[in-house]
C-alpha cells in the first residue's frame, strides 16, 4: 500500500492489524510504502511499486488526466478534512484576505495545495494571487514562527499545531466550499482485474480494523507507539484517532457500510476541477468509481 504520508498515528488501524496478525491471517504480505502527498502515492501504483494507493481524490483526477486507467474502490474519509489556518492577529477572515500573502502547503503533491486552489477559485481568485510555499507534511512550524501568513492543512495537523502553541487562529474549512472525500483507495485497472481476490482480502482487513479503531480507540492508540513516526505520545494518539474516527463514516455509510462511494459527489468534484482549469476536460471519474468490492465485504 502506497500512502500519501509516512506512517502516522491517524492510520493506527493499519498498525493494529499488522500487530494482531490480521493481514497474515488473510494470506496477505502487507507493506506500507510512505510518500509525500497523494500524487506520489498514485505514481507508485502506476509504476508498479505498490498495488493500492491511499490518496486524496484530487491526485487521482490529475493522474487520470495523463491517460492512466484507475478504479476507485473504497472511501476512506468521506468528508473533506482540509482547511486554511491563520493567526487571529493576521486578521485573515476570508479567502479574499489571502491576496498577496504567503500561504504554506504540505507539498505541491498534496491535497492541501489542491484544496487551496479550490477555495481560491470559489473566491474568484487563483494561486497567482498568493505566494504558495511548500512547508512539509504536517508542518505548522512556519505559521507558528510567522514565516507564512496562513497554512493549508488538515484537521489533525491543526490539532497538533494547537498542542505546540499555535495560539488563537481563524480556520476556513474546505468542506464548506466543496465536500470532497478526503482520501480513497485507488488501484490501476490492471490490478483491479487481475488481483480482485487480494483486493477484497485487503479491504476486508482494512474495514474491520477501521471499525475496531472506532470501537476500541485506546487499542489503536497503543498500536501507534513505536510504529508511527508521530506516535510516541499515547494520549496524543488517542486524540488524533478520535478526530479521524469522526470523518471515517457518514450517514450514507451507516446505511451501506464503511467504504461506500458516492459517484455523484465524485462527479461534482470533477466538474469543479474542470471549471477551475486544474484538469482540461472530464476524465470519467464516475465510471472509475465502483462499490463492487465494498458490496462483497462482510
Q: Indicate the average pLDDT of the chain.
A: 95
Beta-carbon contacts of 162 under 8 Å, excluding residues fewer than 6 positions away, are: 169
pLDDT of 218 higher than 80 = yes
Beta-carbon contacts of 16 under 8 Å, excluding residues fewer than 6 positions away, are: 209, 212, 213, 219, 220, 223
Which range (40-49, 246-255, 272-281) has the least confidence?
A: 272-281
CA distance 296 to 219: 27
Q: What pLDDT score does 172 carry?
A: 98
Q: What pLDDT score does 132 carry?
A: 97
Beta-carbon contacts of 45 under 8 Å, excluding residues fewer than 6 positions away, are: 2, 51, 52, 53, 186, 187, 188, 191
Element (H, E) at 158: helix 155-163
- The answer to whether domain 2-79+182-296 and domain 82-176 are alike in fold is yes
Q: What pLDDT score does 139 carry?
A: 78
DSSP state, residue 232: S
Q: Which fold has domain 2-79+182-296?
A: D-Maltodextrin-Binding Protein; domain 2 (3.40.190)
> Which of 136, 140, 40 lies closest to 84 in space, CA to CA?
140
pLDDT of 260 higher than 90 = yes
pLDDT in tens, 12-55: 999 999 999 999 999 999 999 999 889 999 999 999 999 999 99
Q: Exposed (0-12), middle (13-18) or buried (19+): which is 298, by Cβ within 10 Å?
A: exposed
pLDDT of 235 higher than 90 = yes
Coil, strand, or helix at residue 104?
A: strand
- CA 78, distance to chain mean position in Å, is 10
Q: What pLDDT score does 37 carry?
A: 87
Per-domain residue ranges of the chain: 2-79+182-296, 82-176
pLDDT in tens, 50-102: 999 999 998 999 999 999 999 999 999 999 999 999 999 999 999 999 999 99
> Which CATH architecture does the domain made up of 82-176 adopt?
3-Layer(aba) Sandwich (3.40)
Report, in this order, helix, strand and coil percent for the chain, each rounded to 5: 50, 15, 35
pLDDT in tens, 120-177: 999 999 999 999 999 987 778 899 999 999 999 999 989 989 998 899 999 999 999 9
Q: What pLDDT score does 278 carry?
A: 87
Amino acid at each position: 500500500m502506497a500512502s500519501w504520508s509516512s506512517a502516522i498515528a491517524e492510520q493506527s488501524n493499519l498498525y493494529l492489524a499488522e500487530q494482531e496478525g490480521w493481514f497474515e491471517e488473510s494470506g496477505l504480505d502487507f507493506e506500507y510504502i510512505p510518500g509525500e502527498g497523494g500524487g506520489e502515492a498514485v505514481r507508485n501504483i502506476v509504476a508498479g511499486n505498490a498495488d493500492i494507493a491511499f490518496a486524496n481524490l484530487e491526485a487521482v483526477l490529475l493522474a487520470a488526466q495523463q491517460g492512466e486507467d484507475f478504479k476507485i474502490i473504497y472511501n476512506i474519509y468521506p468528508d473533506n478534512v482540509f482547511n486554511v489556518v491563520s493567526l487571529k492577529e493576521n486578521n485573515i477572515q476570508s479567502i479574499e484576505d489571502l491576496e498577496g500573502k504567503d500561504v504554506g502547503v504540505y507539498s505541491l503533491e498534496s491535497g492541501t495545495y489542491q484544496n487551496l486552489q479550490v477555495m481560491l477559485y470559489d473566491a474568484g481568485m487563483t494561486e497567482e494571487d498568493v505566494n504558495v510555499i511548500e512547508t512539509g507534511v504536517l508542518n505548522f512550524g512556519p505559521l507558528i514562527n510567522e514565516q507564512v501568513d496562513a497554512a493549508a492543512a488538515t484537521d489533525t495537523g491543526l490539532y497538533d499545531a494547537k498542542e505546540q502553541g499555535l495560539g488563537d487562529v481563524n480556520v476556513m474549512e474546505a468542506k464548506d466550499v466543496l465536500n470532497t472525500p478526503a482520501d480513497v483507495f485507488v488501484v490501476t485497472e490492471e490490478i483491479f482485474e487481475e488481483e480482485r481476490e487480494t483486493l477484497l482480502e485487503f479491504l476486508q482487513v482494512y474495514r474491520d480494523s477501521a471499525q475496531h479503531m472506532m470501537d476500541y480507540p485506546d487499542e489503536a492508540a497503543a498500536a501507534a507507539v513505536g510504529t508511527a513516526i508521530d506516535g510516541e505520545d499515547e494520549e496524543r494518539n488517542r486524540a488524533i484517532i478520535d478526530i479521524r474516527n469522526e470523518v471515517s463514516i457518514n450517514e450514507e455509510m451507516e446505511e451501506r457500510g464503511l467504504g461506500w462511494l458516492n459517484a455523484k459527489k465524485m462527479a461534482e468534484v470533477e466538474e469543479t476541477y474542470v471549471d477551475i482549469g486544474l484538469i482540461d476536460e472530464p476524465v470519467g471519474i464516475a465510471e472509475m468509481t465502483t462499490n463492487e468490492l465494498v458490496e462483497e465485504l462482510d
